[in-house]
Each structure stands twice: as C-alpha cells, then as structure tokens.
Structure 1
C-alpha cells in the first residue's frame, strides 16, 4: 500500500483499479465472443443489429480504457496527475465511451419500443443521427473544457472529469445528468410497455391445442423474465451515478470518495453488463451466440 501513499484514498484506488481491470478483461472476452458469433449478421440491414454493433464497439473501447487505466495506475499511482495530456485524453475516450454506452443502450430500448409497441420502423438514418449527435455534443463540450484547462483527476486518481466548481464543468454535469435520467426513463417506460404488449398479446391469442398453449405460455414467460432482467440490471448499474450527479447539482457539493468508488464500480460495469443484456435484447444475437458457443 506504500506504493499508493501519494494518493488521498489509496485503498479505494486499489479496489477501483482491481474492479476495473477485472471488468475490462472479462468484458473484452465476452464482447469478442459476441462479435465472433454475429459475423454473419454484421451485413444485415436490421436496425437493432446495427445499433447492437455500435454498442459493442463502444463497450470494447471502454473495456480497453479500463484495462490500460488500471495498469497505468498500478504501475504509477500518480500517472494522471503527472501526465495531464493522458488525463484529458482519458476524459474524452474513457468518459465519453462509458456515458455513450449508457445512452446507446437506451436508444436500442427506444427502437424496440417503436418496433414492438407502436409497430413502426424508424429509419436507420434517424438512429444514426441521434447517435452522432450525442457523440458530437459530448466531444464538443470536452474540447471546450480542454481549452479552459478544467479537466483534472478525481480524488481516487483513477479517472479524470471536469469539476462542477468550474462553469463548464457544471454545464457538462447537467448534460450528463439529463441524458442519464432520460436514458433510465426510456429503458423503464419502453420495456414496461413492451411487457404490457406481450401480456396483452398473450390474453388475446387463440391457440387450439394444449401443447401449443403451454409452449406459447412458456415463450411469454421467458420474454417477461428477459424484460425484468434487462430493466433491473440497467437501473442497478446506472441509477446510483445519476443520483450522485443530482446530489452534486442540487447541493453544489462533491460526492464522498466512498460514494464515488461505489458509483464508479457500478457505472464501469456497463460494458460487461451491456454485452450480456444485448444477448437478451435481440433474439438473433442471442441465438447466434448460443449456437456458436453454448452447444451441449
């Protein structure tokens, strides 16, 4: 622990680095397997498949930032403090990919809502525009913060962000918080409506034989279980960070180091959690993965 003595909270730093390294390694492994399993689907024009590919690429990048960031901090605990250029770069790549991962999964949920509940296929260009707009917005604010020289390492020394004490930091925190809240609401509302539509379809369906009834009921139950898992894990990984952002905006006080540790562990688990959820969200992706790697 003496190696980390230059940091204010060395034990928290070690814990977060260890968690990030584990998430990054496991995430890279699982995402790579998913990419291998969906090779035949990559050329598909299916909207969900295209959005799934975008999320996987973003999560793949995030996992590498977690791995490289953890190794750098283990080797040199004050790495981000000593090399400001990497601090700023980490804010763009690590921070941007993490938040975009959260927002993009919500976009997939919204796409499923329109397709299943509204019975309307939104053009692919519309979704690409939304994705590009989010990236440009975050990047634009990040560039402004670089010019203002307000990006700095947090107390744990594992990642960098713009302090809300700076005006531009406050604006960026508002943007991130608003989009996180919208993402949580989008996932919740979308899948609640999808579940309702599924149950309604179950009640209205007319199936003749008893075997067909049992098979249909089992399929509906599995669909509802998947929905519960998707919503539960998405809310679990992202709600605490959003709460802390609201806390900071309302009280104008920084979060405690312990709260930051918990929030970072949960938020950084998104690449790993998202990879698993994508197998549940799209049946083609899930089936391809199962047929390739889970044959018994």
Structure 2
C-alpha cells in the first residue's frame, strides 16, 4: 500500500476525465516528467492503466482508471467527499494506520507494531482523524467510523487485501498475507488454521488449507487466530473452542494477535461462550453455539473438566 499526496491529486484528475499526460500537466501546472513519474507509481499500485492511442496527434498515451475494485471505490470516495481533500486523509503513513484499523478494533500499540509507525506519530495522526469523525475510540481501542465513513472503510479493506496469490485472500498487510487454497500443489509459505490443528491434538478433516506468507514458524496462538477466518458454522466454532481449551491458550497472548488480524470482536465473543448459560446462543460475528454439540466435540478430543456436573 502506497499513496502520496501527488498520487491522490493525479488520481482525482484522471477520475474527472484528464486522460493524457499533457492535460494533467496543464491542470496541475507540473512538468511532463513529474506527471510521468507519479503515473508510474499509480500504475504500479493498480490505480490507473496507460493505453497506447494511435488516433490522436497530440498524445500517444491515454490514461484511465484501472478495473481493480479498490480503484473504483476510490473514485466513489472522490465523488462522495468532494468537499474534503483525500490527500489529507489517505497520504503516506495515514493510509497505513487507517488500514490497520479498517477491519476491527485495535490498540494504538498493536497498530504501531503492524504499521511500523511510532506511537508518537500515531498520537498526532489520531487527533485529526478523530476530529473529522473518521475513527472512533472505545476502551483505548480504535477503528474506522463505518456509520459515517463506510466507503472509506470498504476502500481500505479492498486495497489492503488485494494481492496476487494462488487462492482466496483472507487477510493481507503489506508483505504479510493469509490465503486459502484448495489444491495441495498451491500451498505456499507456512500452513495454518484447521489444517495445522493436527499437530496440536485436534485432527480435523479439511478440504482446504490456510497459507501464510512469509514462511515462518507459527505459534499455537497464531494458528488458533488464523483458524478464526475459517469459523463459518457451529462445527468449526466448536472445534476452535476445543483447540483453545486443549492447548491451554493464554488470553493475553491471543488478544493482540486477534487485534492484528482483525478478529478482536470475534475472539471476545468466542470467549464469552465459555461462560454462557444458554444451551444455544448466537453472538455477533459467530455461528450458532450449541452446548450439547460442543460437549460432544470436547469428549471427542478428550478435553476434560470444562463443564462440571
């Protein structure tokens, strides 16, 4: 992810119909070389494309927006918020910080680690973004204000998670990625999630695998959090809960990892299920919890002393 003020300015001009370098140079009062350099950066990031044109005597290159989902979303942003300079919101480190907040609640400390931005810089950024109502705060955690800035959140998620991988991208941030593959020969990096549960006493029959890049040794806490991307029905929910108990995971170790990967709310609600009195209950971002089926899963994997009778 990379956007500078000049990149955003040129993008907005292209979105408004400036389709040649000469026209862009005239509108922005910049040299052709400067325009070409910024266009190259936009093209590399997937926001614009350059096409050869042989019908015009004035310019052999036509500029247009690319077909990527995030490029189209940014055009919507530029139209929706015409009175606001997008470069004041999305340029440079602000883009990275907002991307860290776009999927769920996260602490300033974890956002700093993820973005590789100092706490001091984040504090300075926070004030302006909160004054505009772009981000909101709760219990020292921050996220995008989706009620007021839904288009911005959608753009950030689409741009952040875009990548060329041999499977479905579940999460991405710069050079780190998690994606799902359904063919063994497409496995890259380190395997994680339910596919890796077998190494920790919870063997699960799977037809897909989560891969993480870059390749490295993963902790059991990371494997658990990654598996939350695969929780989509009561069975997978109960398996994740059984893994958590069987491997005696530590809440304080799991929590920052859940924040990093945009699974804070899901993890907090999953923890609430362990103390739930209802036989069946549905919490935000989770499938239906069924106590009887959960007990069956616990027995299957020999997880003892969860519910004392």
TM-score by length of 1: 0.21
Greater fraction helix: 1
Select the structure of larger CA radius of gyration.
2
TM-score by length of 2: 0.21
Greater fraction strand: 2
Tell me: higher relative CO, structure 1 or 2? Use CA pairs within 8 A at least 6 residues apart: 1
